[in-house]
Amino acid sequence: MRYFELATDCFLVEGQNEAALYDVHGGRLFLLDRSAHELLRSCADGAPVPDNSSEDAVAFLDALQAAGLGFFDDAAAGSDKLLLHQPIEWKGMCMTPPDFKSVDWQITNACDLDCRLCGDDDKTLSWQSCQTCLRRDAGGAEAWMPEDLEAFIADIANLGVGTLHIRGGEPLLAWQRLERIAQAAAETPLTLVVTTTGMGRPANDLIALGKGRRFGLNIVMFGHDDETSETACGRSGVLAAQVALIDALVEAQIAFSITFLLTPLTQGRRNAMQEFAQRRWRTRPAFSEVCTREDVKNGFRLSHLDERERKPLAPWESPEMFFFRVRNNTCTSGLLEIGADGLLRTCSGLPKVHGDVGRQGLVAALSGTGLYESWKRGKSDVEPCRRCALRYACSDCSSFEFADQPDANAKSAYCGYDPCDDTESAIEREWTPTSFVRPLRLRERA
């Protein structure tokens, strides 16, 4: 009797209907057709390869063995593949201390621009808002500030945090506060990143703020031409001022990134915005999107579902990174946000509150478990992604941001693939083969 076992670094991950084969060391993801899935499922269950197997099945397993993805054996497969189905939790004395990577801090709620969908958290949904200045509550009170600002920055640095990310509203409207934060951060190993539209201060002030420090600016833009920009942010002349600022940053060699904030009215210009930033500054911009819950009901789809980009499946750079992904949410792990309201959340895209930094102080707010549990809330914990065979390769966070949205259209707003679709090869139709992801059919060789 012969058995077939997958290589120790090769995992069969099953969704509700379909399955994928993860070649962890080879950095490849194979989308299995139904026959290949059924065959490998039965091998993984410890069933022998039937003596009367079809020629195709034997050739398929031979090819997997030749490609180093598995091997024939005289004994049934062991249970070493449980890892991806029952991740082991280390608790109590064995729990590792939290690895704080980045703190997002909204130091002001003020802004002079007038983006229609900003500051109305109850009615809107956002994607990657942590890269923007979007507010939760535009009418909120003056932002919370610690009594001893310098000591607070030192406390953040003492946690081992790498990046202090200052957001607003518009942090340049709280200029004195921002200068004190920059000075205090410069006394620590922290890297300071400020997300801003750049409006409200001369370029030279921003250059002086960052010169000679571990510092970067993330400029939030609204369009590649005046009309698009004004449509989104409600004011003319913003684009010209931003272009002049970024040109000055390039000249002064201040590190910067660009994030375009898209709305349903401007998302159709995404490619033009990307080309604009690449042509002028050789910079690939990031994108964030905001829409109303009503838009989602009416069939809104995030722009990265268009033909050019499709759903992002991200290769892992090393086996360690792959296994980190299995156990953690790579988007949020190590991240915490202190809102303008002084409340502790994981990030701007996730509304759940884990503590009150304003009332309790930083250390007490961080002593609850909610934040750390959120770092581990991965795709295996949200519907419908937990039914998806690609849940360890899909890098998109929108499923977390849109997860609690009751509307039935919410899923199609962020992903075109339906893991509950039981028609043959639904998984193959959604992705174009690349060097990372490719179909693997029983009738074809590995």
Residues in contact with ligand SF4 by the rule CB under 6 A: 111, 113-115, 118, 128-130, 133-135, 168-170, 197, 233, 311, 331-332, 335, 347-350, 379, 384-385, 388, 390-391, 394, 396-397, 399-401, 415, 417, 419
What minimum distance in Å lies between the beta carbon of 384 and ligand SF4? Answer: 6
Tokens 């069933």 belong to 47
Distance (Å, whole) CA 402 – CA 399: 5
Distance (Å, whole) CA 309 – CA 44: 34
What minimum distance in Å lies between the beta carbon of 211 and ligand SF4? Answer: 25
What minimum distance in Å lies between the beta carbon of 115 and ligand SF4? Answer: 3
- The residues, any chain, with a CB within 8 Å of residue 320's CB and separated by 6 or more, are none
Closer residue to ligand SF4 (CB): 69 or 130: 130
What minimum distance in Å lies between the beta carbon of 50 and ligand SF4? Answer: 32
What minimum distance in Å lies between the beta carbon of 64 and ligand SF4? Answer: 24
What minimum distance in Å lies between the beta carbon of 288 and ligand SF4? Answer: 8
Closer residue to ligand SF4 (CB): 163 or 348: 348
Per the structure block, which two tokens stand in for 397?
């966070």
Closer residue to ligand SF4 (CB): 130 or 362: 130
Closer residue to ligand SF4 (CB): 61 or 111: 111
Q: Is the dihedral of CA 318, 214, 131, 159 positive or negative?
A: positive
What minimum distance in Å lies between the beta carbon of 419 and ligand SF4? Answer: 5
How big is the chain, counted in residues?
446
Closer residue to ligand SF4 (CB): 113 or 194: 113
Closer residue to ligand SF4 (CB): 70 or 339: 339
Closer residue to ligand SF4 (CB): 170 or 295: 170
What minimum distance in Å lies between the beta carbon of 58 and ligand SF4? Answer: 32
What minimum distance in Å lies between the beta carbon of 195 and ligand SF4? Answer: 9
The 3-state secondary structure of the chain, one letter per residue:
CEEEEECCCEEEEECCCCEEEEECCCCEEEEECHHHHHHHHHHHCCCCECCCCCHHHHHHHHHHHHCCCEEEECCCCCCHHHHHCCCCCCCHHHCCCCCCCEEEEECCCCCCCCCCCCCECCCEEEECHHHCCCCCECCCCCCCCCCCHHHHHHHHHHCCCCEEEEECCCHHHHHHHHHHHHHHHHCCCCEEEEEECCCCCCHHHHHHHHCCCCEEEEEEECCCCHHHHHHHHCCCCHHHHHHHHHHHHHHHCCCEEEEEEECCCCHHHHHHHHHHHHHHHCCCCEEEEEEEHHHHHCCCCCHHHCCCCCCCECCCCCHHHHHHHHHCCCCCCCEEEECCCCEEEEECCEEEEEEEHHHHCHHHHCCCCHHHHHHHCCHHHCCCHHHCCCCCCECCCHHHHCCCCCCCCHHHHHCCCCCCCCCCCHHHHHCCCCCCEEEECCCCCC
Distance (Å, whole) CA 416 – CA 396: 12
Closer residue to ligand SF4 (CB): 349 or 358: 349
Distance of CA 372 to the CA centre of its chain: 17
What minimum distance in Å lies between the beta carbon of 380 and ligand SF4? Answer: 9
Closer residue to ligand SF4 (CB): 49 or 217: 217
Closer residue to ligand SF4 (CB): 130 or 249: 130
Tokens 């009738």 belong to 443
Residue nearest to ligand SF4 (CB): 349
Closer residue to ligand SF4 (CB): 184 or 267: 267
What minimum distance in Å lies between the beta carbon of 12 and ligand SF4? Answer: 16
